[in-house]
Structure formats: C-alpha cells, structure tokens
C-alpha cells in the first residue's frame, strides 16, 4: 500500500513540514528508519534518531521543537503515538478487509447464522445455532461451539477456541491459542481422598472491544457467567477463573492469574505475574505492580506492590530494608561478638 504525506496528514488532521508529495509504502521504528517508510517520535529518549533516521516521513508532536535540521518530511500531530497507532489500525483493517468468503475444507452447521462480509478460514468449525456477525474474520482451525454469538467486526485468530454458549461482543480480538469458556477448576473432595468434578454449566461473556492475548484462558462460570467488560485488554498467558468479572477498560499484563469469583473494577492497570486469591474485590482505578500477590480486597485508587501486596510507599520502604539485610546481618554479628566479649570481661 502506498500513501502520500499529504494524505496521511489529512487523515490525522496534521501539518506537513517538508515534501507533501513524498510517498511511503511501509512503517519502521525511528532508530531503524528506511527510505520509503513512516516512523514516529513520541519518547524523548529517541530524539537523537530524528536527525539521523532515513525514514521518509516522521510523525512528531505539535509542541516538539527541533534542535537541528531534519532530512525527513515531518507531520505534526497532537499525539504522535496515538496517530501512529491509528495508522496501523487503518492498515490492518484494510488488510483484513481483503479476506472474505469461506475456505474449504471447513464446517458450518446448517443451523448456524453467518452474516455478510465474513471470512472463515480452512479447517474452521462453526457449531449448531451459532451466530456470526457482519465482517467477522475467523482464521483457520478456529473452533466456535454450539449457541455461540460472535459480534460484528470481531477477529478470531488461528487456533482460538470458543466453547458452547459463550457470547463475544463487537470489535473483539481473540489471538491464537486462546480458549474462551473452558471448564472452571471445580472439584469436590471425597472421603476417600479423591476429587469429584463439579459440572461447569455457565458461560463467558466478552463485551465490545475486548482483546484476549495468545494462549490466555477465560473459564466459564460454574453457574452464571464469567464477564469481561467493554474495552478490557488481556495480555498473553493469563488465567481468568470461573465467575470472575473484569471491569471496563482494565488492562492486565502477561502471566497474571485470577482465582475464582475475583472481581476487578474499571480502569485498573495490573502488571505481569500478579496473582489473585479467590473471592476478592478490587476497586476502580487500582494499579498493581508486577509479581504482586493479592490476598485481600483493594479499595478504589490504591497503588500496591509486593507479595503480599501493600501500598507502594510501604513496599518501597520494605524493599530498602530488604536490600540492606546483608549489612544489617553483619552489624548483628558484630554486636553479638561485642556483647559476648563484655559478658566475658564481667565474669573475669
């Protein structure tokens, strides 16, 4: 695909500084910029590359002040990072729009409803009474179970699995290897030491604009629904257990795990490898640092870190003490020696 600088500026409501007729056919990082590509500068740490990059067009913030001459054509925008993201999204939409129709071999049950503009890749399976919305992209080897609803403009990447009765909203993205609706981890201990499986008869509901990373699993409710609210973004390799609820616009980084019935509020930011005990309530606008262990409820707006997690300021104090433990140990050993010498002197 080929775009002129002036066309990009028009799409982004930006201002061209330089050759507005110059064309780009791809994108690049500013530090690896190549002729014919578009890059962006948002982080001041990369400013030096602005003056040496070979990229033909570079997006910069309107308030940015140049310190040297730049060979590239510049497009000034309100937010270079968001503008670049919008261009990438446009590119992906254009690319995805090229895929339509049903590849063979694939299986679509005769009772399923498949609307216009859908792409279904080879070896995909669409179960009984499933409903596939407009412009949905279902890549090869995807499984869509019975009674599943997939909303308009959703993308199911290769190898993702949607179990029976689950509901996927509009504009969702589910990456390869993700499993939506697997059984919750429910087992009843028996007198003989064995565990009897508890039937999991609920489902999963993903509201609109949810993104589920590769190899992430969202278990169905034991009864009722596991609910992922609108705009939630889950990274790769996350476990969401039965009957959890994640509030609107919350983001969770890789390798986090939520035990059953955990409730997380809106607009939370959760780092990688965070673990949640079951039946907890996390408020709105909470920030949790990586590798934290959450063992009790967290109120709105708190910033926590550590295992067990405590307020950030307290966690910093704890970490300072922890780093000083070797020196403190030496001090204690020295004090013990001195006390021993004093006691020995008193005896003598």
In a 10 Å sphere around its CB, with 0-12 CB exposed, 13-18 middle and 19+ buried, how is residue 124 labelled?
buried
How far, in Å, CA of 123 to CA of 140, rounded?
6
CB count, 10 Å around CB of 9? 22
The alpha-helical segments, DSSP class H, found in 224-277 are: none
Task: Determine the Cα angle at 223 with ends 205 and 166, to 5°.
Answer: 25
CA distances from 206 to 117, 158, 160, 176, 309 (A): 22, 19, 15, 17, 28
CA distances from 248 to 245, 265, 272, 288 (A): 10, 7, 19, 16
Pair 245, 219: CB distance under 8 Å: no
Pair 306, 287: CB distance under 8 Å: no
In terms of Cα–Cα distance, which of 150, 211, 146, 214 is closest to 178? 214
In terms of Cα–Cα distance, which of 24, 1, 207 is closest to 90? 1
SS3 155: strand
Pair 83, 42: CB distance under 8 Å: no
How far, in Å, CA of 62 to CA of 5, rounded?
16
In terms of Cα–Cα distance, which of 258, 322, 324, 323 is closest to 288? 258
Task: Determine the Cα angle at 27 with ends 25 and 31, to 5°.
Answer: 135
DSSP 68: S
Query: Does residue 175 carry a catalytic annotation?
Result: no
Set 242, 244, 247, 315: catalytic member = 242
Q: What residues are annotated to the active site?
A: 242
């Amino acid at each position: 695909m080929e775009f002129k600088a002036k066309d990009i500026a028009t799409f982004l409501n930006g201002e061209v500084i330089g050759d507005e007729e110059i064309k780009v056919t791809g994108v690049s990082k500013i530090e690896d910029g190549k002729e014919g590509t578009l890059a962006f500068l948002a982080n001041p740490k990369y400013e030096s590359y602005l003056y040496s990059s070979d990229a033909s067009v570079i997006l910069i913030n309107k308030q940015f002040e140049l310190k040297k001459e730049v060979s590239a054509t510049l497009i000034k925008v309100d937010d270079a990072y968001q503008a670049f993201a919008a261009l990438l999204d446009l590119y992906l939409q254009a690319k995805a729009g090229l895929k339509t129709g049903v590849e063979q071999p694939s299986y679509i049950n005769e009772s399923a409803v498949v609307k216009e503009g859908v792409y279904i890749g080879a070896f995909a399976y669409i179960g009984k009474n499933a409903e596939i919305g407009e412009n949905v992209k279902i890549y090869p080897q995807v499984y869509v179970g019975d009674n599943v609803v997939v909303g308009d403009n959703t993308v199911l990447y290769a190898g993702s699995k949607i179990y029976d009765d689950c509901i996927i909203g509009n504009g969702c993205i589910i990456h390869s290897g993700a499993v939506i609706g697997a059984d919750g981890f429910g087992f009843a201990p028996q007198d003989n030491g064995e565990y009897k499986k508890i039937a999991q008869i609920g489902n999963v509901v993903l509201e609109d604009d949810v993104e589920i990373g590769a190899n992430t699993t969202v278990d169905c409710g034991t009864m009722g629904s596991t609910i992922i609210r609108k705009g939630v973004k889950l990274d790769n390799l996350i476990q969401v257990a039965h009957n959890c609820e994640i509030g609107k616009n919350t983001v969770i980084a890789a390798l986090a795990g939520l035990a059953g019935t955990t409730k997380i509020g809106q607009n939370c930011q959760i780092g990688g490898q965070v673990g949640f005990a079951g039946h907890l309530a996390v408020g709105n606008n909470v920030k949790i640092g990586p590798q934290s262990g959450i063992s009790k409820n967290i109120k709105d707006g708190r910033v926590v870190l550590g295992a067990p997690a405590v307020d950030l300021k307290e966690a910093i104090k704890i970490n300072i003490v922890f780093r000083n433990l070797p020196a403190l140990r030496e001090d204690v050993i020295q004090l013990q020696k001195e006390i021993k010498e004093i006691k020995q002197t008193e005896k003598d």
